[in-house]
């Protein structure tokens, strides 16, 4: 497998329609979500689907393909503890574990360039299955100071982690140095 041209290092181009559709979601609230795909023939990221303002998070997750990668943005509405209506925009890099290796590589190498084109993203989630981008994660992130989350599934018998307050640490990582792995999103 080989990538042609500069695309392997710099990523795919971004269509003007993709940029303008995102701006309509961000500024005019015309859409609840936008799903993007890479068009390999045009060598750019294009809009695959949009969801109207009345569509739900379930409608959005149902629109993602089960076996292929996509990028998506979702405009998440919530109410703060002070009873204020707010909105945060999530960028989701969807890469199902059953998708083709070539597709995963293409989306991974193009993500940063595409993400830079979308100004005003509040949070980024990388997900390989629907449980990793659950609505509870979006709610938690919207009300917290986190800006990026990677969900890792660990089986207890293989875990070599230590819980310190709400932080997850790997005490025996690499050269026995202490590595902070992340902050827990809920009860264990």
Q: Is the pLDDT of residue 185 over 60?
A: no
**The predicted structure's pLDDT at residue 79:** 82
From the options 3.40.50.300, 3.30.420.40, 3.20.20.70, 3.40.20.10, give the CATH code of 7-151. Answer: 3.40.20.10
b/e string for 52-64 if b means 16 or more Cβ within 10 A?
eeebebeebbebb
Which tens digits make up the pLDDT trace of 12-22? 899 999 999 99
Which tens digits make up the pLDDT trace of 152-182? 444 545 455 555 554 555 544 443 333 444 4
CA distance linking residue 41 with residue 17, whole number of Å: 16
User: Domain coordinates of the chain in residue numbers?
Assistant: 7-151, 154-188
Four-residue CA torsion sign, 177, 182, 183, 187: negative
């Amino acid at each position: 497998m080989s990538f042609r041209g500069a695309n392997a290092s710099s990523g795919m181009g971004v269509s003007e329609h993709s940029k303008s559709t995102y701006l309509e979601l961000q500024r005019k609230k015309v859409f609840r979500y936008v799903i993007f795909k890479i068009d390999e023939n045009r060598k750019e990221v294009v809009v695959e689907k949009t969801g109207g303002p009345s569509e739900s998070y379930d409608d959005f997750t149902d629109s993602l393909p089960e076996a292929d990668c996509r990028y998506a943005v979702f405009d998440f509405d919530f109410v703060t503890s002070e009873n204020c209506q707010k909105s945060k925009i999530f960028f989701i890099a969807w890469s199902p574990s059953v998708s083709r290796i070539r597709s995963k590589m293409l989306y991974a190498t193009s993500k940063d360039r595409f993400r830079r084109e979308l100004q005003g993203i509040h949070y980024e989630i990388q997900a390989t299955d629907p449980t990793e981008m659950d609505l509870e994660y979006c709610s938690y992130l919207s009300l917290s100071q986190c800006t990026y989350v990677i969900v890792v599934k660990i089986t207890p018998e293989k875990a070599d982690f230590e819980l310190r307050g709400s932080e997850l640490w790997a005490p025996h990582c690499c050269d026995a140095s202490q590595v902070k792995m992340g902050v827990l999103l809920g009860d264990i």
